[in-house]
Structure 1
Amino acid sequence: MTVSHSPHSAQSNNHRTAEEIGRTPAGPRELPPLGQQRAADEPEHVDTVLASGLRVLAVRKPGAPMVELRMTIPFGSAVADGMHTATAEVLADTITTGTRRRDRVAIDTDLALIGGDLGTAVDPEHLSVSASSLASGLPTLLDVLADLLTEATYADHEVQREAARLVERLAVARTQPRVIAREALQKHRYGDHPYTREVPLPEDVERVTPEAVRALHPAAVLPRGSVLVLVGDIDPQSALAEVEKALGDWRSDVAATELPPLPALEGGDVLLVPRAGAVQSQIRLSAQGLPRTHERYPALQLANLTFGGYFSSRLVENIREDKGYTYGAHSGFEFTDGAATVQVDADTASDVTAAALLETRYELGRLGLVPPTEAEVESVRQYATGALLIGSASQAGLANQLIGLASVGLGLDWLRGQPGRLAAVTTEQVAEAALEFFAPTRFTGVIVGDADLLGPQLEALGGVRIADRQL
């Protein structure tokens, strides 16, 4: 039997590389020039602070008959108290289990009737609420929210059940390398600051009582200093009226508790945290950055993208694509109230950890000494602008962006103005930010791994010291 082959099947065995695709007989293919960034239409919105001290930001974004709700309540502690962290975690897990007017089933039923859902989470800075529903169901959604904020009961059996589940989850979470590395980095950076208490200890959770949870709610779930964001197919003024109607009884003369300011992060040695027998290592580096309100933040954002902020960055090309030390490396920002840090993350096999750290330091230094080219800056500028616009294209994406901005005092104006600020950044400004903020001496951090294997290599490399305790 004769089998014929089409030209397409013959070509399928001769795949061209990305470099070959990007070239013509006359040389590299030229990218089309960036078009003029057009200003987006001003969306209909309301941004105001109610008499209770609650900031409300409501934005009309049609396209789907839905509304997205995001709320953040400052939920810090003035001291590094493990019991506050544990109690706050139990509160977040049980606030939706019942109120004076609704039990757990009634809450779920009322949300289901409006196509809605609602969830809560807590971290060292905030208690967060995330919810959505049909736009027509907004009054019901707000009524359920108000019920949780003002009438949550925290029944004994619900607290005990959720605390037991939390202990089980924590037992698993605390064995995960990423959780171990994050906790080690936090303690190395900030010592006993309350910000480091991200994951409670199981033994602290076991000591949480229903009385403690019920006492924490009126002391900490407060409107003054909190933010509510609504995005969807809504009339902002009508939505604001619904918020005032639903949350009118949620009042207090006391403001929600903010975390104490974080100390400035200084560069220094990397701490090797021993984890006996680990076959992989977690590299976590960090340096002081700039908040989004700073005039130089757009230049720093583009410098970060060039270094390690997206897949075609220098760090990824080096330690992933060229040398194969890691499946993924990344750099980005971590924002806290009024401050920011630059983070560099990579997970590597133990036998190449020292080499990966060496190459990461090399790329940090090279970013300043061999600054981003015009082509690199244009590429990351296009990526940053596109990512910002894509992130705000959906109702949920816009709500997520706005709650992050609103929690540090920003709003829709900052979001709309950022593409223009990115477009105005020069290559020279990016180079200045790269040299200043990505200098290797500005960074500190941790490596979690097998100290018996890594210790001699990393000590020979320099700038690494071994922690006393074993994980």
Structure 2
Amino acid sequence: MTATTHRTAEEIGRTETGARLVPALGDQRAAADLQHVDTVLDNGLRVLAVRKPTVPMVELRLRIPFGGAGPLHAATAEVLAETILTGTARRDRIEIDTELALIGGELSTSVDPERLAFTGTALATGLPTLLDVLADALTSASYVDKEVAREAARIVERLAVSRTQPRVIAREALLKHCYGDHPVTREMPRPEDVEKVTAEAVRALHAEAVLPRGAVLVLVGDIDPEQVVADIRKALQGWQSDRTASVLPELPELAGGDVLLVPRAGAVQSQIRFIAQGLPRTDPRYPALQLANLAYGGYFSSRLVENIREDKGYTYHAHSGFEFTGSAATLGVDADTANEATAAAVLETRYELGRLALVPPDADELEAVRQYAVGSLVISTSAQTGLAGQLAALAFSGLGVEWLTAHPERLAAVTLDDVAQAALDFFAPARFTGVVVGDAASLAPKLAALGGFTVGEPAS
């Protein structure tokens, strides 16, 4: 048998005449014009219907504002999301599943402190059935006692496991450190709260909070937008209320400050989470900040990834990006590291923040992140699923198709000076706060030497 000789990456990258040249980046295509209708129905529901006939399917996204401040709101909302599709006045769970299966469809729900979300898909010919099932759940979900009790028990089991996961612990610690008792911190209810939820409480929450006024319904697929809006108006004519869905209270603005070390005794890994105030998508400076973020840690060739992953091997995962809540936006940095590398990773993460602020991207770096930003936007919206997800997020923030299609032009107009100013204004290390979750006995002395750390209560 002849042995196979494998070439190294360096050998592959060279020819007899020298290094193999990397092809120049081509011109990015602008986002295609999208035939669509964007309107508000009489019941207050905003409908955004977009024609994208790449495959004979349709994607559905419904987002209902679902803010609540009561002590059991998060737990009750979680049970509601898990049981709203388990039965209605006209269908039981099996009938719902069967009707969706016959149209090649699915319909699922999720909830967080800001919204109740429905995600659906079906063959385009099956859209009337999908809308009928959705309308049935919105107007006559039954929440049978035994179904609520069964799903609540499953949620309790799931939460017991989830709350032991390091990333979940870090997320909850970060939110509490930044926002205290704000409802946004209750992303995941406590198991003991879920155990208190009754079917009667779930039915009451549905009547009080599952409302069309202020909600957004997005449909993308092989559809006629004008006809689909008429179909939606007919299907959802029974979903009515004079009240408006409850919006999450605005988040307080973040200020930089000490990072909280959250003790997790015996942990062999640490979770690093830094966060600072960002800009909403509607701000004229957002495109420049988006490109500055990509240069810092927003994609694989960013400075942060090159430093603490590729060069020093402190982590397999390092990333920075935006989170949008209501009209607010935050800029976050996260990395998971081995215990012995945590302090060094924190040092390098802060160093790269300062370096971006003081040594902003040059022309080549800016063009690379610009190409990535435009290209990834085009790719992510080339399929029905990606476009529906993007539009649902934008529409929930009050934006629409026009913002999406015009964004490549905004990115193209960003200058070196724009990015330099965004880097200086938003990436200074002093603007950030955050948490590190890990073994305090070994981490505290090293992090104290870096400065800007306080030790908090152990992770629960």
TM range (shorter): over 0.9
Once residues 467 and 211 of structure 1 are traced to their aligned partners in structure 2, the CA distance between those partners, rounded to angstroms, is 39
Aligned to 1:15: 8
Once residues 449 and 220 of structure 1 are traced to their aligned partners in structure 2, the CA distance between those partners, rounded to angstroms, is 39
Q: 1:24 to 1:212 in 2, by over 3 A?
A: farther
Q: CA deviation at 1:42?
A: 2.0
Aligned to 1:465: 454
Matches within 5 A, 1:37-186: 37-77=28-68, 79=69, 81-186=70-175
Q: CA deviation at 1:24?
A: 9.1
Q: 1:249 to 1:450 in 2, by over 3 A?
A: same
Aligned to 2:225: 236
Q: CA deviation at 1:17?
A: 3.0
SS at match of 2:110: strand
Once residues 444 and 23 of structure 1 are traced to their aligned partners in structure 2, the CA distance between those partners, rounded to angstroms, is 49
The answer to whether structure 1 residue 427 and structure 2 residue 412 are counterparts is no
Q: CA deviation at 1:249?
A: 1.1
Residue identity in the other structure for 2:35: E
Once residues 22 and 50 of structure 1 are traced to their aligned partners in structure 2, the CA distance between those partners, rounded to angstroms, is 61
Aligned to 1:415: 404
* Paired residues of 1:23 and 1:29 also in contact (CA < 8 A): no
Once residues 345 and 2 of structure 2 are traced to their aligned partners in structure 1, the CA distance between those partners, rounded to angstroms, is 50
Question: Out of 326, 344, 359, which is 1:355 matched to?
Answer: 344
Q: 1:25 to 1:278 in 2, by over 3 A?
A: same
SS at match of 2:9: coil
SS at match of 2:276: strand
Aligned to 2:212: 223
Alpha-carbon deviations, 1:6-62, whole Å to 9, x = none?
xxx55x2x41339x8289967784652542x44444221110000100000000100
* Paired residues of 2:304 and 2:349 also in contact (CA < 8 A): yes
SS at match of 2:59: strand
Residue identity in the other structure for 1:59: V
Alpha-carbon deviations, 1:269-318, whole Å to 9, x = none?
00000000000000000000000111110100000000000111000000
Residue identity in the other structure for 2:424: L
* Paired residues of 2:34 and 2:401 also in contact (CA < 8 A): no
Once residues 162 and 241 of structure 1 are traced to their aligned partners in structure 2, the CA distance between those partners, rounded to angstroms, is 35
Once residues 16 and 340 of structure 2 are traced to their aligned partners in structure 1, the CA distance between those partners, rounded to angstroms, is 41
* Paired residues of 2:169 and 2:459 also in contact (CA < 8 A): no
Aligned to 2:387: 398
TM-score, length-scaled by structure 2: 0.97
Question: Out of 24, 28, 42, which is 1:32 matched to?
Answer: 24
Question: Out of 316, 333, 336, which is 2:322 matched to?
Answer: 333
Alpha-carbon deviations, 1:123-160, whole Å to 9, x = none?
00000000011101111110000000000010000000
Matches within 5 A, 1:262-341: 262-341=251-330
Once residues 53 and 250 of structure 2 are traced to their aligned partners in structure 1, the CA distance between those partners, rounded to angstroms, is 39
Q: 1:23 to 1:53 in 2, by over 3 A?
A: farther
Aligned residues: 460
* Paired residues of 1:266 and 1:288 also in contact (CA < 8 A): yes
Once residues 356 and 125 of structure 2 are traced to their aligned partners in structure 1, the CA distance between those partners, rounded to angstroms, is 52
* Paired residues of 2:76 and 2:202 also in contact (CA < 8 A): yes
Question: Out of 221, 225, 246, which is 2:235 matched to?
Answer: 246
Q: 1:445 to 1:24 in 2, by over 3 A?
A: farther
Once residues 23 and 310 of structure 1 are traced to their aligned partners in structure 2, the CA distance between those partners, rounded to angstroms, is 29
Residue identity in the other structure for 1:234: I
Residue identity in the other structure for 1:45: H
SS at match of 1:468: coil
* Paired residues of 2:66 and 2:245 also in contact (CA < 8 A): yes
Once residues 437 and 69 of structure 1 are traced to their aligned partners in structure 2, the CA distance between those partners, rounded to angstroms, is 36
Question: Out of 434, 451, 455, which is 2:444 matched to?
Answer: 455
Alpha-carbon deviations, 1:224-250, whole Å to 9, x = none?
000000000011111111100000110
TM-score, length-scaled by structure 1: 0.95
Aligned to 1:199: 188
Once residues 215 and 9 of structure 2 are traced to their aligned partners in structure 1, the CA distance between those partners, rounded to angstroms, is 54
Aligned to 1:368: 357
Once residues 124 and 466 of structure 1 are traced to their aligned partners in structure 2, the CA distance between those partners, rounded to angstroms, is 28
* Paired residues of 2:77 and 2:202 also in contact (CA < 8 A): yes
* Paired residues of 1:273 and 1:469 also in contact (CA < 8 A): yes
Q: 1:27 to 1:277 in 2, by over 3 A?
A: same
Unpaired runs of 5+ in structure 1? Answer: none
Once residues 59 and 369 of structure 1 are traced to their aligned partners in structure 2, the CA distance between those partners, rounded to angstroms, is 43
Q: CA deviation at 1:384?
A: 0.6
Residue identity in the other structure for 2:9: R
* Paired residues of 1:337 and 1:408 also in contact (CA < 8 A): yes
Once residues 138 and 314 of structure 2 are traced to their aligned partners in structure 1, the CA distance between those partners, rounded to angstroms, is 48
Residue identity in the other structure for 1:121: S
SS at match of 1:272: strand
Unpaired runs of 5+ in structure 2? Answer: none
Once residues 461 and 46 of structure 1 are traced to their aligned partners in structure 2, the CA distance between those partners, rounded to angstroms, is 55
* Paired residues of 1:332 and 1:342 also in contact (CA < 8 A): yes
Residue identity in the other structure for 1:185: L
Q: 1:369 to 1:96 in 2, by over 3 A?
A: same
Aligned-residue CA RMSD (Å)? 1.6
Residue identity in the other structure for 1:324: G
SS at match of 1:48: strand
SS at match of 1:328: strand
* Paired residues of 1:220 and 1:257 also in contact (CA < 8 A): yes
